[in-house]
Amino acid sequence: MAKYTGINHLAMVTGDMDATIRFWRDLLGMRLVVGLGHPGYRHYFFEISEDDMIAFFEWPGVERLDERDHGFPVKGKVAFDHISFGVSCEDDLWEIKDKLEAADVWCSEVVDHGFIHSIYAFDPNNIPIEFSATVEGVDVRATPVMTDSQPSSEALKGAEPQPGVWPEVAEPTPDGDKTVYEGEGHKIVEALEKLKGRE
C-alpha cells in the first residue's frame, strides 16, 4: 500500500497574492518556497513543514469568500470547510494567537477538543483556518476513538482499510507507459540550476 507522507499541498485561490503573502509568510512565518506564473496566472507555495505546503492560485476577478464560521452547517454544493495546521505545542497556539491579535486579525479563544487544543481565524481571503496542538498523552493515531452516538455503517467497520471494497489492480501500468507530461516544472528546475551556479 502507498505510504502517505502528509499533504504535499492544499491548493487555494486568491484575488490578492500580495495580501496573501503578507499573511502567510510575514505574519504566520511560512516560507514562500515556489512561485510559478506568467501574466494573468500565479501559483505560489508556502512551506508548512518539511512535507506539507499550502499553495495559492491568483486569478483576476476572484473575490473573497463570504465569512462563514468553521464547522457551521451549510446547504448546497460544498467541498471545503477549513484547514487545520498542526503546531508542536500549546505555547505555539498562544504565540500565533498573540500575533494574529496584534495584527488586528480575529482569533478565537483556545478550544479543547479532547485530543487537540485549537484556535480559529480567517486569512485575508476569508479562508477559515485552525491551528491545533496535540494534547499530551492522547494519541488517537495509536488508539483510534469513535464517540459518534450513531456512527455510519462504514465507520462501524473500524479504522483500518477494508479489503475487497474496491477491485484489485489487474494490469499495473508497464514501465514503458509511465510518461510524465510537461507542466511548468522545467522553469523551477532551470531556476534552481541558475541558483546553484551562483554558489
Cα distance between residue 15 and residue 186, in whole Å:
26
Range of the domain at 30: 1-63
- Structural domain includes residue 167: no
pLDDT digits (tens, 9 = 90+) for 107-158: 999 999 998 999 999 999 999 999 999 999 998 888 888 888 787 888 788 8
- Structural domain includes residue 132: no
CATH number, domain with residue 12: 3.10.180.10
| Closest by Cα among 141, 96, 147, 145 to 118 | 96
- Judged against a pLDDT cut of 90, whether residue 68 lies above it is answered with no
Task: Report the predicted TM-score, pTM, of the whole model to 2 decimal places.
Answer: 0.80
Cα distance between residue 109 and residue 145, in whole Å:
25
- Structural domain includes residue 158: no
- Structural domain includes residue 1: yes
- Structural domain includes residue 193: no
- Structural domain includes residue 47: yes
**Domain count along the chain:** 1
- Structural domain includes residue 163: no
Give the containing element (helix H, strand E) for 118.
Answer: strand 116-122
| Helix locations, 89-176, DSSP H | 90-102
